[in-house]
Amino acid sequence: MIPSHRKSSLRSLSALALAVAVLSLGACQQPQTPASDGKPAATTDAKPAPAAPTKPADAKPADAPPTDTASDTPELRIATIDGKTYDLAERRGRWVVVNFWATWCAPCIKEMPELSALDTMRDHIEVIGLAYEEIELADMQAFLKKHPVSYPIAILDVADPPKAFDTPRGLPMTYLIGPDGKVAEKFLGPVDAKKIEAAIAKASAQVAVPKA
């Protein structure tokens, strides 16, 4: 038979052990903060929702009518923000990357440094950026101070974009124009130097050059 004072000691030890266990469990969990509706908010241990797949930014409503005025040999003569005039017809003999973009389009901004490097480092390739958005000249100039590029930029009239090109249904939208002035490739979504140079190599390989 266990003496009464021993029983009392055992009960004290058991209570102490239980208290330690409870405190240990509490330290392994993030405290819940009550929400405004009285229900406990989710703990910070919850896993974040998977990110949505990247897709080109919408440039026009999904129900916008398609444009059928695009040309295989597009013409483009437009004023750039530096006060000059860009004429695509004067670029014959070179590959031209015509890039439709906007300052609010994250994928557009991401590809700008690589397009700029391509324009600078490849003598046979040049880039023209067509801003497809309603933006003031001063705001565009301020944006380009933060995101400088080597190639010319023009601001389009979204109500009257160049009719020789398809009206962008998403951004970025990029055309690769060959040395003959014809469209060699179209890209809907981000591009990089590797994609453009691969398209140039593919288009060049398809041109037969018979020799006598």
The per-residue pLDDT for range 117-176, each reduced to its tens digit, is 999 999 999 999 999 999 999 999 999 999 999 999 999 999 999 999 999 989 999 999
What whole-number distance in Å separates Cα of residue 166 and Cα of residue 183?
A: 12
What is the pLDDT averaged over residues 55-76? 64
User: Residues of the chain with pLDDT > 90: what percent?
Assistant: 63
Among 25-39, 53-67, 192-206, name the one with the lowest average pLDDT: 25-39
Task: Tell which wins on pLDDT, 110 or 19.
Answer: 110
What is the pLDDT averaged over residues 187-199? 96
Q: What is the pLDDT of residue 208?
A: 53
Task: Tell which wins on pLDDT, 167 or 61.
Answer: 167
pLDDT > 90? residue 46: no
Contact 81, 147 (CB under 8 A): no
71 pLDDT tier (thresholds 50, 70, 90) = confident
Q: CB 178: neighbour CB atoms within 10 A?
A: 20
Query: CA 72, 149, 121, 193 torsion: positive or negative?
Result: negative
Q: What is the pLDDT of residue 105?
A: 98
pLDDT > 50? residue 17: no
Query: Residue 188 forms beta bridges with which residues?
Result: 173
Q: What share of the chain is helix, strand, coil (3-state, %, to 5)?
A: 30, 20, 50
User: Peptide bond before 31: cis, by omega within 30 degrees of 0?
Assistant: no
What number of CA atoms fall less than 13 Å from residue 154's CA on the CB side? 22
3-state secondary structure of 56: coil
Q: In terms of C-beta density within 10 A (0-12 exposed, 13-18 middle, 19 or more buried), how is residue 47 classed?
A: exposed
Q: What is the pLDDT of residue 11?
A: 52
Average per-residue pLDDT in the chain? 78
